[in-house]
Amino acid sequence: MGIANWIWIWTAIMPFAVFLYYFFRKKYQNKNVSSVLFWQEMMKEIQASPYLKKLQHHLLFYLQMAALLLCVFGLIEPYWESETVQGNELIFIVDTSASMLAGSPSRFDQQKTAMAELVGQAGGKPVTVIKTGQTPEVAVREEREQKKLLASIENLEVNYEEAQMDQTILFAESLVKDESTVIHIFTDALAREALASKTEQSFVVHSSSEKLANASIRQFGLSQSEKGLRAIVQVVNESEEQMKGTVTLSAGGVSKEAELELQAGEERLVPFENLPAEDLWTAEIQVNDDYAADNRMLSFVQQESTGVVVDSSLHSLVSKGFESIGMEVAAADPSQFKDRTGSMLATNQTELLDLNSPILLIGRNDAEAIEVSGAIETTSHPLFTYADLENVYVSALYPGFDAYETIAEIDGKPFIQLSPKGDIAILSDIQSTNWPLDPSFPLFLWSAANELTGSEAFLGYFQPNEHRSVPLASDAGEWELFKGKEYVGSYLEGEGPFIAPAEPGVYEVDGDGRSMQMIVQLSSEEKTLASGASYAIGQASEEDETIHYPLIPWAIAIVLLLLLVEWEVYRRGIAIR
């Protein structure tokens, strides 16, 4: 404790003057007066308790002296002195990745407690809180009020996505005003090398040094075999001790188990044979570890391909378009296509439409094209969600197929059609259009590949909060997301990319009378736990290392209380005279 204003110590003479007044004041003698003899009966109780009378007589003096001394105490401005955190401004980077859920209490809760303690030591300094992720988010900006900061920290939640710490640190540095700002990083572990080049900035890393036990499912795959479905579950024990448990595979009402025993650091593939024909399967391990989020994984059975076989007679721009969207392209003669069953085929050979393979027909080899000059008109279909054909010019069209559905036309004539089994037909040669020069061409090929090789009942695999373009289109233009029966959110077509939910699991995507499933699950990076030591880098320039908490408010409160007590004592003294 310290004193900020010694000059007011002279006011201590006031309590001393009051003391002298009571010491030298005139003494009075008690005399009986006939007019007040009637009240003697009422005074007997007081006269029978002389100590109580003396206490009431002197209590007023004690209260006055206490109030005066507290006033003198307040005038000299006493305060408690406490150390404060370094830096004139603080920035908190909070790791909100899934791995922060490990431990009991979780690492995330421990870091929230550490942040709350630092806020208590900040002494009114501005604090900014940033959440990690693919897109770093500011939870609170330059807040000085302690209650708001503590409430904001308490409301922080894990978002399950990768921390992207390098990107988040760069974002935090963009908010730094001067060299007195200190960036506090709350995470499970961060190597010093990540901050080696940050020589002009001060950092304090709050890590978790406790090593936790963890076993996880790293991969889970399904494949068709002659005897039915076959599944392989990859389980890894990254702990320093042996682990025992079970691996459970379930779908609908079907469940299969396998005993599991892993040595420290061991990786094992657990196979399951002769599984029934179910679309959605869940693999889960039951082990005694400190991190449950990576003990479960889902897989959907679908025919998925990342490659396409292109007819060598087609224009080379078709192959270039598929390559630009990351697909593996193989060129082949049409005579070899019958041996490519199961692969996506791009050709102009109409006789190949009878194959079981998904086909993108570009042009026709069995008809003559006729000239057209109108604009392209499209219907509402997922193929055109991202491929706008407004600026595409087509000079000639082939005749359409009678049994096919037309989704784009020119001058009332079919331009793009869908076959009953799902094949896509573009009724024009690539060299008869300017389409390859328009950005919509690779986007259309990407949508076509998803339409042909994907599943109508499955939207795909996503990571938590992943932003992705998806081939969704409906008349209403809105899709709703559900987890079980719980409503999660909506996706409006044309309002930006589709954003996956944060929490892993299976979701239903409903819209326009259709329903699809999607799976959100952790990235591989979030299935590995890390631990490390806390450390500090850099030194913030700061003049004051302590903070003063004044005691004047407490002194004023006590003085007011004493005044109320003093008035009550005085009132009672008047009443009994």
Length of the chain: 577
Beta strand pairing call for 89-94 and 78-83: unpaired
In the chain, what are the domains?
2-26+38-81+551-575 (no CATH), 89-211+529-543 (3.40.50.410), 215-300 (2.60.40.10), 307-453 (3.40.50.880), 460-524 (2.60.40)
Alpha helices in 164-232, H assignment, sequence order: 165-173
On whether the CB atoms of residues 217 and 282 are closer than 8 A, the answer is no
Residue 565 tokens read as 């007590």
- Two tokens at 498? 């589709």
The continuous run of DSSP H or E covering 529 comes out as: none
- pLDDT on residue 481: 93
**From edge to edge, which strands make up the β-sheet containing 344-347?**
328-332, 307-311, 344-347, 359-362, 424-426, 413-418, 405-410, 376-378
In angstroms, rounded to a whole number, what is the distance separating the alpha carbons of residues 390 and 188?
Answer: 51
Alpha-carbon distance 305 to 357, whole Å?
11
Token output for 407: 């989704």
Measured between alpha carbons, how far is 378 from 32 in angstroms, rounded to an integer?
A: 117
18 close to 68: Cβ distance less than 8 angstroms: yes
Structure tokens at 29: 């003698």
Q: How far apart are CA 293 and CA 274, in angstroms?
A: 28
Percent helix / strand / coil, the chain, rounded to 5: 30, 30, 40
- DSSP symbols for 239-299: SSS-EEEEEEEEETTEEEEEEEEE-TT-EEEEEEEEE-S-SEEEEEEEE--S--TTSEEEE
Hey, what are 289's tokens? 């570890």
397-410 residues labelled b (16+ CB within 10 A) or e (exposed)? bbebbeebebbbbb
pLDDT per residue as tens digits for the range 474-533: 777 788 999 988 999 998 877 778 899 999 999 999 887 788 889 999 988 899 999 999
pLDDT less than 70: residues of the chain: 1-8, 12, 18-61, 79-84, 225-226, 302-306, 338-342, 454-456, 539-551, 570-577
**Are residues 415 and 427 in contact, defined by beta-carbon separation less than 8 angstroms?**
yes
> What's the per-residue H, E or C state across 466-488?
CEECCCCCCCCCEEEEEECCEEE
DSSP 394: B
Per-residue CA distances from 493 to 152, 408, 424, 445 (Å)? 33, 19, 23, 19
- Assign residue 460 a region: left if phi > 0, alpha if psi is -120 to 50, beta otherwise? left
State how far the Cα of 88 lies from the Cα of 78, in Å rounded to an integer.
24
Residue whose tokens read 């390859």: 436
Count CA within 13 A, CB hemisphere, residue 187.
30
The total of other beta-carbon atoms located within 10 Å of residue 525's CB is 15
Name the residue among 39, 128, 223 with its Cα closest to residue 47. 39
Instruction: Give the separation between CA 422 and CA 88, rounded to whole angstroms.
Output: 64
Question: Between the CA of residue 472 and those of 124, 176, 496, what are the distances in Å?
Answer: 49, 41, 12
Q: How far apart are CA 563 and CA 575, in angstroms?
A: 18
Tokens of 73: 């105490």
SS3 301: coil
Query: Which token pair is 232?
Result: 């392989």
DSSP state at residue 401: P
CA distances from 324 to 3, 317, 444 (A): 74, 10, 12
Bridge partners of 418, per DSSP, are 405, 424
Calculate the dihedral angle through the C-alpha atoms of 282, 217, 294, 520, rounding to the nearest 10 degrees: -50
Distance between CA atoms of residues 237 and 234, nearest Å: 10
DSSP assignment of 62-102: HHHHHHHHHHHHHHT-EEEEEE--SSSEEEEEE--SGGGG-
Q: How far apart are CA 30 and CA 45, in angstroms?
A: 17
Is 216 within 8 Å of 236 (Cβ atoms)?
A: yes
- Joined together, the tokens standing for residue 210 give 């406790």
User: 88-100: per-residue pLDDT in tens?
Assistant: 889 999 999 999 9
CA atoms of 569 and 472, how far apart (whole Å): 81
Contact indicator for 100, 208 with CB cutoff of 8 Å: no
